[in-house]
Structure 1
Amino acid sequence: MKDTNASTYKGDAKLLIGIILAVLSFWLFAQSVLNMEPAIQKSLGMTSGAMGIGVSITALFSGLFIVLTGGLADRLGRVKFSLAGLVINIIGSILLIIAQSAPLFIAGRILQGVAAAFIMPATMALVKTYYDGAERQRAVSYWSIGSWGGSGLCSFFGGAIASTLGWRYVFIFSIIVSVISFILIMGTPESKVVVEKVKFDFLGLILFIISMLALNLGISSAQQYGLQSSRTLTLLAVVIVGLVLFYFTEKNKSNSFMDFNLFKNRFYLGATISNFLLNAVAGTLIVINTYMQIGRGLSSAVAGEMSLGYLVCILITIRIGEKLLQKMGARKPMVLGASATLIGIILMTFVNVQGPLYLVLVFIGYSIFGIGLGIYATPSTDTAISNVSDEKVGSASGIYKMASSLGSAIGVAISLAVFSSVGADKVSTAAFLGLGVNIIFVILAIISIMFIIPKSTKMK
């Protein structure tokens, strides 16, 4: 399996900046909705259920298609898929700018998710292909900072723009950045691999998409109509039946959409499960931002400023996590990072504390939250990828990244559903319960690391 164009071309600063901007086009603009949810819901007159779908569906569609698009990018061209993703993001952003109601808003959010599915694996492959040695390590670090750091930047940026220019301007900036990224990447020699043609498992993909969509809609239905409503129960039944059919039709296929044999590796299994659960704590962002605006009367800009510590700390500690991995192995830093994330969320749950003291707790909590995710990021990714065979690393990477996106989508949907299910007159209780959901996610992540990943994970 050889790359057809990677032998002579070497990546430069122009390409790297284009790649970073492409990655940020998802995190910085698509995920900014986590801090603009109250303003958007009021502007478009959306129900809480529709808003929940609109918020979480971008990460959901990213997760559903990232394995498919990653494989197609390898075969058809990573540059081509990076550029296509940017175009799709521009179209999605235009729909969001002109949206006057829920359907067009949700359609734009879906397109942003598909754009992320094109951009993320294709740009990561370009980094690995066109940068060598120390330059590759530097490029990977910048890509990771754009990916993980963007999640912190989006809260601050979205709040600042929404409070001054209005939430639609976030997506105007999204178009501008996407155009700049397109220009910088355009002209890069194509990179793709020659592989043996294998029929893609569309049945597995369809079953998985139906199951995950039904789960996301079921969570929103439970929020709007109740857990015992016929609509909710029907959707949850579709989830169960869909996943059972998916497992039994896929487990023995040689070309299965998801390679279940990967999960026999305890290193990979523990890293992937904990990655899913720690990405699910993205629900913390929407709960605390919404509570700060509704319950504490802060503007979206000030609420976003509370997350500045998170942004700074996650950017700093990503490299610290790399050093801890080299010194201690992966398991201990992963537990340490998850534990710090837990402490950060716990500090935010003291919603009964009045006055400026609570804002101090939120700022410190956000900072520790960022430290935890920063320390966890590199050891987790390394554990997942370095413990699978070379011929399966592409599939393993896609599934691991899919777990990130699906974890974020499901975590946000559940957190928002719990928060919105409590009456508007009990916003402090709603915030406490919504944050409590994320505490459960982190505890389960710590358990998965400690009891699944073997202790002997020190790098050789």
Structure 2
Amino acid sequence: MSTLEQSAFRGNDRLTLGMVMGVLTFWLFAQSVLNIVPAIQQSLAIPLPSLNLAISLTTLFSGCFIVVAGGIADKLGRVRMTYAGFALSIVGCLCIIFAQSMPLFALGRVLQGLSGACIMPATLSLIKTSYEGKDRQRALSFWSVGSWGGSGLCSLAGGAVATWLGWRWIFIFSIVAALIGMLLIRGTPESKAEPGERQPFDFSGLIAFVMALVTLNLVITKGGTFGWLSPVTLGLAAICLFSAALFFRIEIIKKQHGFIDFSLFRNKAYSGAVLSNFLLNAVAGTLMIASVYVQRHRDFTAFQAGMLTIGYLIAVLAMIRVGEKLLQKAGARKPMLWGTRLGAVGVMMMTFTFLPDSSYVVAVLAGYVLLGLGLGCYATPSTDTAIANAPADKIGVASGIYKMASSLGGAFGVAISASVYAALLPQGGSVAATAGLLVNVAFCLLSMAAVVLMVPRK
């Protein structure tokens, strides 16, 4: 497509739906495993610490490479990168469908993470370049429906499919969704950043960054298995610290040529949106802990555990458009604060594991509704704050960093919550679940603090 065709193109509902399907292939299908841990563990005979590691690989690798993919999308084309994400999703799903043991299952999870790394920043950049004004905010709302709503639908849909068809069917449906998304975005003019001076890619910084995050994740998820003071754990911790120090040294030396452009963080509003987004996405651990607890210690099926989240799904989908209207009337700060507060109260209600079954079900249902209202209220104002405060020539990288925060927040939130749960499991399922959920309450409160300190009132 010519530059004229690209600049004249205006996004339509077909493109919006195609991008939503792309987001769903990650948040809905890749993350649905949070509700089917017992079924996968029984089917593949993977120890719980190893399964927790495999589950976190998707969001971990998405977070590691999402900024790189955003930069590549700016240079090679955002539509082309979205297609690449769909293709990786299909291959990753096939690996998981045919997996009989840990290696192929883990490979599929890694590929799904790379798929998300391609799709997330590329589609956000397409929204920036293909829509304007209220149309952009509307497209962002529907994009958020796929993202935040997908995270809500994953437990419900994943539990139902796993209970009635078998957990592998989740990933068959994911392949179908990816194919539909590819058809919907077909014919969209390619979108690229204006060509500039070609810079060498920061491979050394990327390698140090990945090493730091992977070893940190291993320490969190496997430290209890290895022994917290064992040579293996201490060695991994040392590699993590060395890699992190090396990464910051490389990025300071390279400055503008690093794969993470730290100059973006000079904008306080952008920094606040990214940090609060990281912390609020860490609350993804709630979905896993609450689901595993009721299945293992209250004898719920995966479908019944998923049904507990139906209020979350409805609330987050309904509230996202409300969050858009609040953004237009009150600015971003207020709805972001309301969202984090509601999330904290909602997760706190799920910590009441001392209640009998019927009362606890009511508490969890109400907690999920409040969590959904909070996330829905937060989603569009936070995303709009991030991309509206990014320079036009760096929107792909800026979007990538924002979504990196989402993915890494989810990865480490799940890993930390699961590790706390596993560590305290000998003390009883209720104690372990309460502690794991309290970790997520803390994430909500820290996210609220980031908004208070960094996002401007106007």
TM category (shorter chain) comes to: over 0.9
Q: How far is 1:404 from its partner? A: 0.8
Identify the residue that residue 50 of structure 1 maps to in structure 2: 50
For the 8 Å contact 2:312–2:370, the answer to whether it is kept is yes
Match of 1:120 in 2: 120
Residue of structure 1 in register with 2:417 after alignment? 415
- Which residue of structure 2 aligns with residue 224 of structure 1? 225
The answer for the alignment partner of 2:176 in structure 1 is 176
Contact residue 156 and residue 309 of structure 2 kept, 8 A = yes
**In structure 2, what residue type is equivalent to 1:33?**
V
Question: 1:302 pairs with 289, 301, 304, which one?
Answer: 304
Q: Give matches, 1:311-322, under 5 Å.
A: 311-322=313-324
In 2, distance between residues paired with 1:107 and 1:4? 41
Relative distance call for 1:5 and 1:68 in structure 2 (3 A) is farther
Structure 2 Cα separation of the partners of residues 127 and 267 of structure 1: 20
Amino acid in structure 2 at the alignment position of 1:299: T
1:188 corresponds to 2:188:
yes
Equivalent position of 1:23 in the other structure: 23
CA distance in structure 2 between the partners assigned to 1:309 and 1:204 by the alignment: 43
* TM superposition shift of 1:14: 3.1
User: Secondary structure of 1:7's match?
Assistant: helix
Q: Secondary structure at the match of 2:428?
A: helix
Displacement of 1:72 in angstroms is 0.9
Q: What is the distance in 2 between the residues matched to 1:172 and 1:241?
A: 41
Report 1:36-435 matches (<5 A): 36-196=36-196, 197-253=198-254, 254-423=256-425, 426-435=428-437
Aligned mates of 2:435, 2:55 — CA distance in 1: 19
Q: Measure the CA separation in 2 of the matches of 1:173 and 1:152.
A: 17
The TM-score with structure 2 as length reference comes to 0.95
Alpha-carbon spacing, 1:192–1:284, altered in 2? closer, same or farther (3 Å): same
Give the aligned residue type for 2:216: L
CA contact (8 A) 1:9 1:189 kept: yes
Amino acid at match of 2:317: L
RMSD (CA atoms):
1.8
Conservation of the 8 A alpha-carbon contact between 1:287 and 1:416? yes
* Cα distance change of structure 1 residues 424 and 371 upon mapping to structure 2, 3 Å threshold: same
CA contact (8 A) 1:54 1:109 kept: yes
> What letter is aligned with 1:343?
V
Deviations 1:335-373 (A, max 9, x none): 221111000010000001012110000000000011111
Could you tell me how far 1:425 is from its partner in structure 2?
6.8
Q: Which moved more, 1:125-134 or 1:195-204?
A: 125-134
Distance 2:454 2:283 in 1: 20
Using the TM superposition, give the Cα deviation of residue 133 of structure 1 relative to its aligned residue in structure 2, in angstroms.
4.8
Percent identity over paired residues: 50
| 1:261–1:19 Cα change, 3 Å | closer
Gaps of 5+ in 1: none
Summarize deviations over 1:172-203 as a string: whole Å, max 9, x none.
Answer: 11111112222222333322233212222111
Structure 2 CA distance for partners of 1:106 and 1:85, relative to 1, 3 Å: same
Question: Does the 8 A contact of 1:48 with 1:224 survive in 2?
Answer: no
Residues 270 and 245 (structure 1), Cα distance of their counterparts in 2 relative to 1, 3 Å cut? same
Residues 4 and 194, structure 1, Cα contact 8 Å, conserved in 2: no
The Cα of 1:388 is off from its aligned counterpart by: 4.1
Q: CA deviation at 1:424?
A: 5.6
* TM-score of the two chains, using structure 1 as the length reference: 0.94
Offset of 1:428 from its aligned partner?
A: 1.0
CA distance in 1, matches of 2:395, 2:187: 28
Q: Look up the equivalent residue of 1:421 and give its one-letter code.
A: A
Alpha-carbon distance between aligned partners in 2 of 1:281 and 1:152, rounded to the nearest angstrom: 12
Q: Structure 2 vs 1, CA of residues 380 and 135 (structure 1 numbering), >3 Å: closer, same or farther? A: closer
TM-superposed deviation, 1:389: 3.9
Aligned residues: 455
**Pairing partner for 2:442 from 417, 440, 443:** 440
Post-superposition offset of 1:211: 0.5
Structure-2 change in CA distance of 1:333 and 1:135 (3 Å): closer
Contact 2:30 2:109 in 1 (8 A): yes
